[in-house]
Structure formats: C-alpha cells, structure tokens
Amino acid sequence: MENHSHGKNILDRIVEARRESVAHRKRVLPEVALKMAVEKVDPPRDFEGALTRRGLNVIAELKKASPSRGMIRREYSPAALAPVLEAAGAAALSVLTEEDFFSGSLQDLKAARRATGIPVLRKDFIIDPWQVWESRAAGADSFLLITAIVEDQALGEMLALGRSLQMEPLVEVHSGEELDRALAVGARIVGVNNRDLRNFEVRLETSLDLVEAIPEDCVAVSESGLATHDDLARLQSAGFDAFLIGEQLMKEADPSLLLRELIGPVGLNPISHTRA
C-alpha cells in the first residue's frame, strides 16, 4: 500500500480518499433518496448576487484544519462563528465539509446555514454528481468545482446540474489552461486559487496573472493568501469581485475583528476595475 501511494501529491491523496468515501456513501444513500430530500429543503440563497454587491465582498471560510497547517482552530463551532462573521460584513460563507484531511462535515454546513441569512458555499472535493445532490439536500447554496480534479465532460455536467438546482457553482482554477477549460464549459463564477493544491504553496500573483483573461460578465473571485485590506483593494482594482478568506480568519481568537479590518470602511472601497 505504501508503494502504491509513493509519489502522490496532497491533492492526489485527497481525491483518492474522496472517491472511496463517495462510493461508500452512494451505497448507503442512493441518489433517489437525496432527490426526495432536496424537495424538502429551503430554496437556495443567491450566492452569485452576494458576490457582486458594492464594496469588498468577502466569502468567509469556516475551516477547522488543513493538510498544510494541521489544526487551525480547536474551538470550532460553525453555529457560533457564522453569525459573528455575517455581522462583521461577510457577503457569504464557505464551509469545509471534507472529513479526512480538513476535519469538516456536512453537519458543519447545516449548522452555519441555520445560524445566518447569507449564502453558504460547500467547500469540498466534488467529483461526482451525487455530491451535488448531497450538497443541495444539506442546504448548500453553492458548491466548489475544482477544475484540476474533474474532466471537462463531468465539469460541464455538474455545472449544469448545479444550475438546474439553482446553485451556481464556484469553478476554481490555478492556471491559464484551467481557466480556459472553466470558461469553455460556461463557468460564470470563476475562482482563482492562489494556493497550488499539489504542494500548498501560496502565490498572490497567480490572481493578478489570470484576472485579465476572465471575461467581464463572469464573477471573479480571488482565493487564499489574502492578509490585508490593501491586498483586497489592490485585487479589486485589478478586476476581482470577491475574495475567499479562511485561514487568516480562523486562526484569530475573534475573526470578526480581522474581517472588519480586511473589509475596511465601505465608503472607501473602490468599485470600478480594469478587467477586460
């Protein structure tokens, strides 16, 4: 077993574990049961609209742990954190639901959504349409699609399925080639991850390198490595509509204080950008 996994990067290991987990869960909970559950949940909130408000739109991420940092927040209660972040100005929330590497769960997402009125994104490694149904059944308003781990046909199918459920997904890219693929299948919300998921190195310039290639009619989101108000203002001026911030917030005793600093006075935020 050790020889089989030798040489695999972090992303490979996460996806392999996710495939095994999804295969098991599909046997326990068939898709037909999820479709019945979807009929009983509240309608989705407008994730896309939340990211295009006036000002600096932050998707505040609830994350207990990560492969690169280990335990980030020991006192972790999504039900307590979510309303505090909403009150501090978060436009939306992102909740990690991957169990093995991030210590998350769908219960975390459900708790966060019950405690707030803003949209909630399911942050996970989604590789199967079954997970899209699972996301909506759990109350998610959007979900993450990582271009690096999904082939084009599956990417397009899950994008279309999300839209049919009124959940516009956040389609994540890390390179020009991945951006081209995301746009080719019709992504409307494009996230540029400054963190390379293969080695977890963070480089803010990744967003600046790719932003001009994101069409004006797409919502552009910069993810990871954002530490200051100036970072957000600079990226907004370059063309980004929203910003996903997790570790910086979660390692703070009171994440609401940092979130208020990051957003800054609303009247001072630039609202125009130069994206082509």
What's the whole-model pTM score?
0.92
Indicate whether 241 pLDDT > 80: yes
Helix 78-87 vs helix 106-114: crossing angle, to nearest 10: 40
What per-residue confidence (pLDDT) applies to 102?
95
CA distance 135 to 124: 10
Residues assigned a catalytic role: 61, 63, 123, 172, 193, 223-224
Tell me the pLDDT of the chain averaged across its residues: 92
For the chain, which domains are there? Answer: 2-265 (3.20.20.70)
* Amino acid at site 226: L
| Angular region, 263: left φ>0, alpha ψ -120 to 50, beta rest | alpha
> pLDDT tens across 180-235, in order?
999 999 999 999 999 887 777 888 899 999 999 999 999 999 999 999 999 999 99
CA dihedral 83, 84, 86, 89 (to 10 degrees): 170
Cα–Cα nearest to 258, from 55, 58, 54: 58
Indicate whether 30 pLDDT > 60: yes
Tokens of 2: 């050790």
> pLDDT tens across 95-110, in order?
999 999 999 999 999 9
